[in-house]
A and B are shown apart, each in its own frame.
Chain A
Amino acid sequence: MRKALEKLRNRVITWDTVKLIGIVCLLAIFCIFLVGPLILLFVKAFQDGSGAFCGLAQFRKYLSSANMLSSLGHTIYISLTATLISVSAAFAMAYSLSRRSVPCKKFFQFISRLPMYAPTMLLGMSLIYLFGNKGILTGLGLKIPLYGKVGIIIAESIFCFPVALMILMVAFSSADNRLYEAADVLHATPFRKLITITLPSIKYGLINAVFVCFTYSFTDFGAPSVVGGNYNVLATDIYKQVIGQQNFNMGAVVGIIMMLPTVLSFFVDRFTSKRQTGAISSRSIPYRIVPNKRADIIATCFCVLVTLFMIGFFGVSLFGSLVTFWPYNLKLTLSHYDFSLISASGGVETIFRSIKVSALAAIIGTIIAFMAAYFVEKTQKFKLLRRIIYALAISPNAIPGTVIGLAYIFFFNPKTFPLFGTGYQINNSFYFLYNTVALLVCVNITHYFSVPFITASTALKRLDNEFESVSDSLKVPFYRTLARITLPLSMQAILEIAVYFFMNSMVTVSAVIFLCTSITQLASVVVVNVQGAGNDAAAAAICMVILAINLIVRILYEIINKPISRKTDAWMKR
C-alpha cells in the first residue's frame, strides 16, 4: 500500500504540480483581496445610491463642482512640489552618505528614517508646534502661512524624504569605479563626471524615487487633514464623501480619479525600469571614496543639519505631548498619555490591537510575499501564470490606500451581490470577515504588498538558479532546497520585509480608516479622531507611542540582523 502510494506520488504528483497548486492558490488570494474589491469599486462608480446604473452621471456631477475640481489641481500641485523638494534633499543626502567620507553614516541614516515611524498626522502637528500662530519659530519671527499648501508641502516633503533616500542609496551603491578612474585620467571636471557618469548610473533610481514620492504625497491623508486649512485635496475629499456624507458611490468616483495619476506614474516607472540594463558587470570595481576635505566637510555638515532638523522636528511634538497646556502652561506632565480620557474614541486597547494587526500582517504578509516571489523567480514553467502573479503583485503600488479601503467595504460588507438583470444574487462568502481584525490585516498586506514582493524577488534573483537545477537533477525535492539554501540565504530580506509590513501597518491611516469600527479601532485612526476633536496633545501622545514601538522594532531588527548578515554574507568575502 505504502509502496503503491509512493509510486503514485512519484508518477502523478510531481513537484511541478505542487508548485502549480501553490501558484493557483496565490491567484485565488489575489482575486479575493485585490481584483474582486477593485472590480466592485469600478461598478459602484457607475451606480447611484440605490444601486441603479447611472452611467457617467456621478462623474459629471463631480467634475461640475468647482470645489472638487480645484482639489484635483491642488493635489497635483502639492505632489509635484513636495516630490521636487524631497528628491533633491534625498539626492544630496544619498550622495553625501555614499560618495563622501562622512562619519557615523549608520546613525545619520537611522535618524533620517524617523518620518516613516509615525503617522503622517504627527508631521502636521509638529509643524503647528513650530509654525502655528503660537509656534516656537513663529515666536522667533519666522512666519509662514502654514495652513494650506505651504504646510502640506513641507509635511509631504519630510514624509517622502526617507523613502527617496532609500531608493537613491541603492542607486548610488551600484557604481563602477573604473569609469571614474578613466575620467580622472582624462582630466574630467567634477561637474562633467557628475553629468556623464554619476547621473546616468543612478538615472533609474532617480526616476523611481520621483514616482514613489509623487504617489506618496498624492495619496497621503494624514498631513492635509491636520495642516490643510481650507486647501482641499483629493485624499480629504474622499474622506468627506465617505465618512462625512456616507456617499460611498461618490467616494468611488473620487477614488477612480485619484488612481489616474498614480496608475500613469506606475506605468511610466515600469516602462523606464524595463529599459534598465545591468550597469554592473562581473568586472566592475566598487566605488572607492576619494577623500576631498572640503567636499567631505560640506557633506558631513549637510548630514548633521538633516539629522538635527529631524530630531528637532520630532522633538517638538514629544515636547508638545508632555506639557500641561501648550503654549500657555509648559509644566511637564504625563497626563496626555492617560488614554482613559479618550476611551470613547479608543484607549490603550487600540494600541495593543494595532500591534496585533501589525504583527499578523508582518508574519502572514512576509510568507505570502516570499511565496509569490519564489514562484515567480524560481519556477521555470507556467510562464503566463507567473506573469499574471507578477503583475498583480506589483500593482498595489499604484492604488491609494483610501481606495483599497473603500473597495474593501464594497466587497466585504454586502451579504449578497445582485446579478444584474437576472433577479438572482450570489451569497457573499466573505461577509464574515467584515468588521474583524482579520480584515484589517488583509487590507494592510494588500496595500503594502508591492515593495516586499520586489525586495523578495531581488533577493531571490541574486541566488543562482543553478541551485535549483542541481537539486532537480540530484532529485532533491524543491522544499529541501528552499529550506536548506534559499531561505537561509534570503533571511536578511525576509526580516526586512517583516519589519516593513509591521511598521507601515502601525502608522497607516488611509487604508484602514473606512474599515475601523468601534470594535476594531486602531491607534492610528484614533489619532485622526482625537485630532479632529481638537485634542492635539493627546493625538501627539498616541503618535509618540506608535513611534516608540516602531523604533524598538527597528532596533531589534538591527540587533538580530547583524549576526545574520555576517553569516549569510560571509561567502562573499575573501
Chain B
Amino acid sequence: MKLRRIAAIAMTLGLAVCSLTGCKISKVDDKPTSSPSTTAGATANATDAPAKLDETVLNIYTALEDEQVAEYIESFKNAHPDVTVNVTRESTGIITSKLLAEKDNPQADVVWGLSATSLLVLNQQGMLEGYAPNGVDRILDTFKDTSSDIPKWVGIDAWETAFVVNKDVLRSNGINDIPETYEDLLDPQYKGLIAMSDPASSGTGLLTVNGLLTLKGEEGGWDYMQKLDENVAVYLHSGSAPAKQTATGEYGIGISFGYRCIKSAADLGENGVVVFPKEGSGYDIEANALIKHSEGEKEIAKAFLDWAIADEQMTKYAANYPIVATGVGDQIPEGYAQNPIDQLIKNIDFDWCAENREAILTKWTELFGAKSHE
C-alpha cells in the first residue's frame, strides 16, 4: 500500500517535471567536439542556426574606457535608432577570455577597440571574418591586418605605457625624486608605493610586460619584473585602476597608460606628474574586427565597423589618444610629447606577443599572481 503510493507520487512527479520541461531526447548529430560546457557564460540571444539574422540587435564587445564608450557610441545610436545596441565592456583580458570561451557559440557580432595582441590570438583560432570597412585605405599599414587581402582586423588608435606620480604621497614618504625610467622604479625608496595593472586581466598590464620583454630581452625582462615586484604594492584589475588609485593618494606611482595618466595627473593638479619612461613605452593597437558566425554576419555589424573608422570617430579618438590609425593628428592632446611615435618601443613583434600570450600570462601569474587582486 505504502509502496504503491510512493510509486504513484514518483510517477506524478516525473510526469510533472516532464510536462513542465517538455523534455526531448534526440540523437547527437553534430560532432561531439562542440560540447555545450565550453560555451558556458555566453549570452544567449543568438538565433538558432539558419534562422534569419536579427538586424535590430547589435552585440558589441569592447575594452575601451567606460567614459569613452559613452562619448563615442552616441552618434551610432542616433544614426540607427531602431537598433538595440548591447555593449559588453570589460578589461582586455576578460573580454579576450570571454570571446575565446564562446568560440563555438559566439555571442559578439563585433569587437571594438580590443588590443591587436588579443585579436591576433582570436585570428589564430579562426574566429575572425575578414571585412574591409569603408575608408580602410586611410588606415596605415602598421595599424591593420595585412596578412590577407581583406583585413581581419582594423586598428583605430594606439595606447602606451606611462606612469602617473603623486608628488604629495611621495613627499609624505620623504621622497622628492620623480622616477623617469623603468630602472628608476627599482629604487628601494619606492618600496610599497607602486601600483601596476595585472596583465592577466588588463591589456595595459600586458602591453607593459610585452614592452619590457622586448626592451630587455626575455631573460632580462623577467629578471627586471622580479626586481620590480619587490617595490610593487599591488597589481590591480584594470589598466586605469593604478592611475586612478594613485590620484586618490592610495599609491605614489601608478603604472598605467598615457591617456589615463594624463587625466589622473590633471585631477591631481600640481601634485600630479605624467612620466613617459625614457627607455620607451610598450604599446598596443586598439582595433576592431568582425566575429565569424556559422550563419553569416550581420549587415548592421558591418555598418558599425564602417562607422567606427569614419572621420568623425577618428577625430574623437584623436582628442583622447595622440596616435590614431590614420597617423598622428595635427592637434596632439595636451600632456603628450610632441612626437608621440618616438616614445614607442620600436621593435615589438605583435605576432610573437600573440603566440606567447598564454605562456607569458601563465608565467606571470605563477610568479606574481599572489599580489594581484580583483
Contacts and interface: CB of A to CB of B under 8 A. Distances in A.
A528 to B, nearest CB: 9
Contacts of A534: 236, 238, 240-245
B45 A435 contact: yes
B42 interface: yes
Interface in A99-137: 128, 132-134
B132 to A, nearest CB: 27
Contacts of B17: 28, 31-32
A379 interface: no
Given A244-B200, A415-B36, A424-B26, A342 B6 contact: no
Interface string B75-105: 0000000000011111101100110110000
A133 B39 contact: no
A200 interface: no
Given A230-B371, A518-B86, A416 B242 contact: no
A314 interface: no
A471 interface: no
Q: Pick the most buried of B26, B65, B89, B242: most chain A CB atoms within 10 A of its CB.
A: B89
Nearest to A29: B20
B201 interface: yes
B326 interface: no
Contact of B12 (A24, A32, A239): A24
Interface of A: 20, 24-25, 27-28, 31-32, 44, 47, 49-51, 67, 70, 128, 132-134, 147, 225, 228-230, 232, 236, 239-240, 242-246, 248-249, 325-328, 340-345, 382, 384-385, 409-410, 413-419, 423-427, 429-431, 434-435, 514, 517-519, 529-530, 532-536
Contact of B370 (A24, A232, A246, A325): A232
A50 B104 CA distance: 11
Given A413-B39, A429-B21, A244 B93 contact: yes
18 contacts: A24-B16, A44-B37, A49-B37, A51-B36, A51-B37, A147-B233, A244-B374, A325-B248, A328-B268, A344-B69, A382-B9, A414-B39, A427-B25, A429-B23, A517-B43, A518-B89, A534-B242, A534-B245
A18 to B, nearest CB: 13
A244 B86 contact: no
A67 B373 CA distance: 12
A246 B94 CA distance: 8
Contacts of A425: 25-28
Contacts of A423: 27-28
B341 to A, nearest CB: 28
Q: Pick the most buried of A67, A242, A533: most chain B CB atoms within 10 A of its CB.
A: A533
Contacts of A133: 169, 249-251
A530 B66 contact: yes
Contacts of B32: 418
Contacts of A341: 66-67, 70
A70 B89 CA distance: 31
A25 B20 CA distance: 10
A28 B36 CA distance: 24
B36 A417 contact: yes
Contact of A246 (B41, B43, B371): B41
B22 interface: yes
A529 B91 CA distance: 9
Interface string B41-83: 1111100000000000001001011110110010000000000
B150 interface: no
A134 B252 CA distance: 11
B357 interface: no
B373 A230 contact: yes
6 closest Cβ pairs, A-B complex: A414-B36, A534-B244, A134-B249, A534-B241, A51-B35, A344-B69
B13 interface: yes
Given A342-B67, A384-B6, A533-B240, A249 B249 contact: no
A411 to B, nearest CB: 10
B33 interface: yes
Given A225-B374, A425-B28, 15 more contacts: A51-B35, A67-B369, A67-B370, A132-B250, A244-B93, A245-B200, A246-B41, A325-B247, A424-B27, A426-B25, A426-B26, A530-B66, A533-B238, A533-B244, A534-B242
B40 interface: yes
A429 to B, nearest CB: 4
A493 B225 CA distance: 59
A340 B70 CA distance: 7
A305 to B, nearest CB: 29
Contacts of A244: 93-94, 97, 200-201, 374
B38 interface: yes
B206 interface: no
Contacts of A328: 168, 249, 267-269, 271
Nearest to B57: A519
Interface in B1-32: 6, 9, 12-13, 16-17, 20-28, 32
B152 interface: no
Contacts of A229: 233-234, 373
Contacts of B9: 20, 24, 382, 385
A426 B18 CA distance: 12
A28 to B, nearest CB: 5
Contacts of A128: 250
A435 B89 contact: no
Interface string B361-373: 0000000011111
Contact of A414 (B40, B62, B242): B40
B8 to A, nearest CB: 10
Given A236-B374, A533-B240, A534-B242, A50 B40 contact: no
A202 B72 CA distance: 61
Contacts of B293: none
B237 interface: yes
Nearest to A432: B44
B374 to A, nearest CB: 5
Contacts of B44: 413, 431, 434-435
A226 B13 CA distance: 45
A515 to B, nearest CB: 9
A430 B24 CA distance: 12
